[in-house]
């Protein structure tokens, strides 16, 4: 499968990709802690952006509540660990199952009753809000006061309980981003991927060509929710604390969708490129305002908002298609 | 010849307006069958009923011995009935090849098989050279051809063609007629066409079914139908025969 | 629990619901005509609250009077926003419009955060705690806050004026024509872009008025904005997107439902009830209670 994908990738893109990967693999040896932590964020946003892109970019389903699936993954795995002593690897399938089940509920409600476009987006926000309020009141997971993971648990080691240092999480995040990229590339060129594109472009015409639109859309939600959930597990064990008001916030959902939109909706490199552009810029902005002695917590978000407006007004297809042309990477050919 | 498609007493009402009124027709395997009638006669509604877009208020649709009444459009397509849209609906953001490929997937979803079907139909409709072009950038005649190619890639036994000649120049119409005839003769695809371009209808159809205000007013060979006084007064007018 | 308490809370919810309804009406009018979903609606409501708050603290201007200049200011903002930023988007895909307004919303809420900080601001009106006592046969009387009643009354007046505008004025009729048949409206020579800008202005004027009233009822904080946006959407979807009466009915329904939920479950759980209502309406009657089904 990977071989056919490689064959489909233009040589120029292959070389660039290999170079980038090499640089990232050796980066922790040279970069300081801060740069490493920023890169972890970049990989994480590239990863969850990829997950969201499956729904919006491939299948044309606007989800503005993706914090829901990420948050469920985070909370389920963290609660299993803290409360029952079940390690993250054993908790992972449960976390995925939880997100997929909720995704199925959202999808069933949305697609069974033909709730489309903006209405569907609102439905996803509403579900995320319900989760936020619900977890606020759920004592088992710490309620509004938050859920905290013990930083060191002795034995078990870094791998077994995901209790490693920054470099450990760096490679873990990089691996996640790579896996998501390969997986999405494979999906994009699979029969399911083509069906998604057909549904995105014109559901009625897709139906006439034998595509079961309900099933295709449902598959997109489930795949996206499962991927997002894994991102949540990483988040929980990386940050070690979870609060419903942050985890399920609309602002978090919007942060997730920024990278693929800026990078290029529906493209495979879009989420990665977007994360590489936005996250360092955001960090830079925070550093600058702090240096200037301003205590303005909203600066980064205002900048993100401006990015959204500029990108969607001037280049609604994102940065990647334009960059691709610059780099001399040809269109995919049949 | 055996019956491939049988429509029996089908009716459809929209908010009190009877769009299709107790229409029955049967199409033999391997036939080219035309449905004609003035605008608003219910032709496209009839197609939409056969293709599963609308569930009829009454009557049945039987295809190859299987009752397909009320099946969803994708299930009807899987059963072997493909259709084109009167107002073409290519997937504008996808390449011509990808458009056809999606049709090819309906065989069961193997990608290699779908590529083959897509390549085959694109060559047949002379779109192979444009395969990497975005479908949204095609000219109208090319879009019409893509619409047919895409439907054909699903490997149908029956192809429902909704005004594929409309908007084409006479030379383009002749090319389309030749392609359709070839499909019918060499590949054994049964064709049902809705058409206003009488030149194409007369060149292709073995039998013609005439609708007016949702109801059947005549059916028969092109020669018989064009001489039918009811058809002349309601649809063809006098100059069409000249 | 005494029946008087239940009546009292229901009445509070009803009065509050009318103000919410006015806010949602703005969203509904904009969607009904321009076909753009204003995702920054709650942000504008909160901006209006802060504007009225500043007018109150700086000039001692009563929020119910501040309503007029705030609504006028918001009309201008809405007109300008539509004429510059949004008009190029009217033929673009739905998700692009949505993302544009998400961007506007982010900037607004965080801009407010930068200027005013996260703390709640309270406008201390001299009549904040005045109320009427209504005797009931259940023993204890029902208490009605005067300020809520004023706000609800003002909301009804504004709605009435809006109804009249759309029904009886030439411009109102032209806007309705745009909503009904865009191509037709353009063909008969209506300046659609100007009418769209007017409509967006009117929609934001509603929000401006509603936001000013809300300063008298609740504390202002930037964090209210996303929940107001969701609230407005919930109301409008429950009532029927594009239906003016639907927005009011939805507002009252949600207002009473949330008030009841605060009373019987917990105040922090109240939005759960409106979301449940939203999901139920979407499942049973997606066009909303008073909405027309798209053909």
Q: What is the 3-state secondary structure (H, E, C) of chain A?
A: CHHHHHHHCCHHHHHHHHHHHHHHHHHHHHCCHHHHHHHHHHHHHHHHHHHHHHHHHHCCCCCCCCHHHHHHHHHHHHHHHHHHCCCHHHHHHHHHHHHHHHHHHHHHHHHHCCCCCHHHHHHHHHHHHHHHHHHHCCHHHCHHHCEECCCCCCCCHHHHHCCCCHHHHHHHHHHHHHHHHHHHHHHHCCHHHHHHHHHHHCHHHHHHCCCCHHHHHHHHHHHHHHHHHHHHHHHHHHHCEECHHHHCCHHHHHHHHHHHHHHCCCCCCHHHHHHHHHHHHHHHHHHHHHHCCCCCCCHHHHHHHHHHHHHHHHCCCCHHHHHHHHCCCCCCCC
Q: How far is residue C266's CA from residue C253's CA, in Å, rounded to a whole number?
A: 18
Beta strand B158-162 with C142-145 is: unpaired
Q: pLDDT tens digit string along A2-33? A: 666 666 677 777 888 889 899 999 988 888 88
CB-CB contact of C210 with C28 (8 Å)? no
How much is the pLDDT for A154?
53
**Residue A113 distance to chain C (closest CA, Å):** 6
Alpha carbon separation from C254 to B201, B212, C17, C230 (Å, rounded)? 60, 51, 7, 12
Q: Assign B41 to helix, strand or coil.
A: coil
Percent pLDDT > 70 in chain C is 98
pLDDT at A156 over 60: no
pLDDT digits (tens, 9 = 90+) for C157-192: 999 999 999 999 989 999 888 888 887 888 888 888
Q: Choosing among C35, C99, C109, which should be mutated to test the A contact, i.e. which has the most A CBs within 10 A?
A: C99
- Give residues 115 to 134 of B whose Cβ lies within 8 Å of A: 115, 118-119, 131-132
Q: State residue C198's pLDDT score.
A: 94
Q: How far apart are CA B25 and CA C122, in angstroms?
A: 75
What is the Cα–Cα distance from B142 to B129, expressed in whole angstroms?
11
Q: How is chain C split into domains, by residue range?
A: 3-284
In the predicted structure, residue C32 carries a pLDDT above the cut 90: no
pLDDT score of B12: 93
Percent of chain A with pLDDT over 90: 58
pLDDT band, residue A116 (cuts 50/70/90): confident
Residue with more model confidence, A219 or A327: A219
Question: Fold for domain C3-284?
Answer: ABC transporter involved in vitamin B12 uptake, BtuC (1.10.3470)
> B68 lies in which domain range?
3-241
Residue B157, pLDDT score = 94
- Per-residue pLDDT, C269: 82
The C-alpha atoms of residue A71 and residue A248 are separated, in whole angstroms, by: 6
How far does Cα C237 stand from its chain's mean position? 13
In this complex, the residue of A191, A213, A333 whose CB is nearest that of residue B105 is: A191
Q: What is the pLDDT of residues A198-246, one digit of tens each?
A: 999 999 999 999 999 999 999 999 999 999 999 999 999 999 999 999 9
CA–CA separation, A330 and A332 (whole Å): 6
Q: What is the pLDDT of residue B242?
A: 36
B132/A208 Cβ within 8 A: no
Asked whether the beta carbons of A123 and C282 are under 8 A apart, the reply is yes
Q: Return the pLDDT at B237.
A: 62
Q: ∠ at Cα A101 (A97, A104), nearest 5°? A: 135
Q: Does A261 touch chain C (CB under 8 A)?
A: yes
A205 — contact with chain B (CB < 8 Å)? Answer: yes
Query: Model confidence over A23-65: pLDDT tens digits?
Result: 999 988 888 889 999 999 999 999 999 999 999 999 999 999 9
User: Which residues of chain B have a CB within 8 Å of the CB of A206?
Assistant: 91, 102
Q: What phi and psi, each to the nearest 5 degrees, are found at residue B125? A: -95, 15
Domain ranges of chain A: 31-249
CB-based contact A308 C105, cutoff 8 Å = no
Q: CB B77 to CB A210 under 8 A? A: yes
Window 112-141 of C: residues touching A by CB (8 A cutoff) are 112-114, 118
**What's residue A153's pLDDT?**
54
C95 Cβ under 8 Å from any chain A Cβ: yes
Contacts with A208 from chain B: Cβ below 8 Å: 51, 73-74, 77, 82-83, 85, 151
Tokens describing residue B136:
């949204």
The torsion angles phi and psi of B159, rounded to 5 degrees, stand at -115, 125
**pLDDT, tens digit (0-9, with 9 covering 90-100), for C120-160:** 888 888 887 788 888 877 778 888 888 899 999 999 999 99
The proportion of chain A whose per-residue pLDDT surpasses 70, expressed as a percent, equals: 93
At B21, which CATH number?
3.40.50.300
Distance separating the N- and C-terminal Cα atoms of chain A:
17
In angstroms, what separates the C-alpha of A293 from chain C's closest C-alpha?
A: 14
Model pLDDT, residue A203? 94
Taking 70 as the threshold, does the pLDDT of residue C294 lie above it? no
Q: Is the pLDDT of residue A194 over 60?
A: yes
Q: What is the pLDDT of residue C295?
A: 34
Most A CBs within 10 A among C279, C280, C286, hence the mutation to make, goes to C279
Average pLDDT over residues C105-121: 90
The pair of three-digit structure tokens given for residue C51, joined into one six-digit string: 């504007």
Residues 6 or more apart whose CB falls under 8 angstroms from that of C267 comprise none
Low-confidence stretches of chain B (pLDDT beneath 50):
238-242
B74/A195 Cβ within 8 A:
no
* Number of domains comprising chain B: 1
């Amino acid at each position: 499968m990977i071989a056919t994908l490689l064959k489909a990738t233009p040589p120029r893109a292959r070389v660039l990709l290999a170079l980038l990967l090499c640089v990232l693999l050796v980066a922790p040896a040279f970069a300081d802690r801060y740069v490493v932590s920023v890169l972890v964020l970049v990989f994480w946003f590239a990863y969850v952006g990829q997950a969201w892109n499956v729904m919006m970019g491939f299948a044309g389903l606007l989800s503005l509540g993706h914090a829901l699936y990420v948050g469920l993954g985070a909370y389920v795995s963290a609660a299993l660990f803290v409360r029952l002593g079940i390690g993250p690897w054993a908790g992972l399938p449960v976390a995925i199952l939880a997100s997929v089940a909720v995704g199925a509920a959202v999808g069933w409600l949305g697609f069974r009753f033909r709730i489309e476009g903006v209405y569907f987006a609102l439905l996803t926000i509403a579900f995320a809000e319900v989760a936020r309020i619900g977890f606020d009141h759920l004592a088992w997971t710490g309620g509004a006061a938050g859920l905290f993971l013990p930083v060191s648990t002795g034995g078990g080691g870094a791998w077994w309980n995901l209790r490693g240092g920054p470099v450990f999480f760096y490679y873990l995040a990089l691996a996640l981003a790579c896996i998501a990229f390969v997986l999405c590339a494979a999906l994009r060129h699979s029969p399911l991927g083509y069906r998604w594109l057909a549904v995105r472009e014109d559901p009625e015409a897709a139906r006439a060509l034998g595509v079961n639109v309900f099933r295709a859309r449902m598959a997109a939600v489930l795949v996206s929710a499962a991927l997002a959930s894994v991102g949540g597990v990483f988040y929980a064990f990386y940050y070690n604390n979870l609060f419903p008001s942050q985890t399920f916030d609309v602002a978090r959902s919007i942060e997730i969708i920024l990278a693929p939109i800026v990078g290029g909706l529906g493209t495979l490199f879009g989420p990665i490129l977007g994360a590489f552009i936005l996250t360092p810029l955001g960090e830079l902005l925070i550093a600058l305002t702090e240096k200037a002695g301003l205590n303005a917590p909203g600066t980064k978000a205002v900048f993100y908002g401006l990015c959204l407006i500029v990108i969607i007004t001037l280049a609604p297809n994102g940065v990647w298609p334009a960059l691709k042309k610059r780099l001399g990477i040809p269109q995919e050919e049949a | 010849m055996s019956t491939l498609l049988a429509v029996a007493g089908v009716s459809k009402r929209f908010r009190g307006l009877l769009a299709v009124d107790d229409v029955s027709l049967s199409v033999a395997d391997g036939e080219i069958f035309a449905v004609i009638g003035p605008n608003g006669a219910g032709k496209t509604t009839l197609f939409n009923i056969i293709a599963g877009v609308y569930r009829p208020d009454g009557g049945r649709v039987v295809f190859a011995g299987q009752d397909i009444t009320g099946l969803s459009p994708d299930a009807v397509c899987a059963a072997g009935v493909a259709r084109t849209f009167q107002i073409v609906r290519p997937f504008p953001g996808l390449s011509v090849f990808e458009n056809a490929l999606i049709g090819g997937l309906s065989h069961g979803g193997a990608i290699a098989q779908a590529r083959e079907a897509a390549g085959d139909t694109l060559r047949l409709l002379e779109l192979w050279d444009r395969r990497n072009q975005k479908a949204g950038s095609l000219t109208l005649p090319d879009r019409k051809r893509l619409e047919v190619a895409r439907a054909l890639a699903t490997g149908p036994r029956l192809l429902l063609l909704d005004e594929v000649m409309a908007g084409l120049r006479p030379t383009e119409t002749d090319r389309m007629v030749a392609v359709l005839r070839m499909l019918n003769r060499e590949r054994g695809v049964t064709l049902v066409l809705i058409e206003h371009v009488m030149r194409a209808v007369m060149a292709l159809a073995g039998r013609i079914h005439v609708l007016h205000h949702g109801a059947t007013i005549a059916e028969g060979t092109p020669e018989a139908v064009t001489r039918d006084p009811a058809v002349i007064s309601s649809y063809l007018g006098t100059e069409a025969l000249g | 629990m005494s029946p008087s308490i239940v009546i009292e809370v229901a009445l509070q919810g009803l009065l509050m619901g009318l103000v919410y309804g006015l806010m949602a009406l703005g969203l509904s009018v904009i969607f009904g005509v321009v076909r753009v979903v204003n995702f920054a609606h709650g942000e504008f409501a909160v901006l209006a609250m802060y504007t009225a708050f500043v007018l109150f603290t700086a000039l001692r201007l009563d929020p119910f009077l501040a309503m007029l200049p705030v609504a006028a200011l918001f009309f201008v903002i809405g007109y300008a926003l539509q004429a510059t930023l949004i008009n190029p988007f009217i033929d673009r895909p739905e998700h692009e419009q949505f993302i544009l307004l998400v961007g506007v919303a982010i900037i607004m809420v965080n801009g407010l955060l930068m200027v005013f900080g996260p703390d709640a601001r309270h406008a201390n009106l001299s009549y904040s705690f005045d109320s009427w006592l209504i005797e009931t046969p259940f023993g204890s009387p029902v208490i009605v806050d005067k300020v809520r009643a004023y706000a609800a009354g003002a909301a009804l007046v504004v709605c009435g004026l809006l109804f009249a505008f759309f029904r009886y004025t030439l411009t109102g009729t032209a806007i309705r024509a745009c909503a009904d048949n865009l191509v037709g409206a353009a063909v008969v020579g209506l300046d659609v872009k100007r009418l769209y800008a007017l409509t967006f202005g009117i929609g934001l004027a509603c929000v401006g008025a509603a936001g000013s009233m809300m300063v008298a009822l609740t504390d202002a904080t930037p964090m209210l904005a996303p929940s107001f946006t969701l609230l407005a959407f919930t109301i409008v979807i429950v009532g029927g997107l594009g239906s003016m009466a639907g927005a009011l009915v939805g507002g009252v329904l949600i207002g009473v439902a949330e008030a009841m939920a605060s009373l019987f479950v917990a105040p922090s759980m109240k939005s759960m009830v409106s979301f449940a209502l939203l999901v139920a309406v979407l499942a049973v009657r997606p066009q909303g209670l008073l909405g027309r089904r798209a053909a």
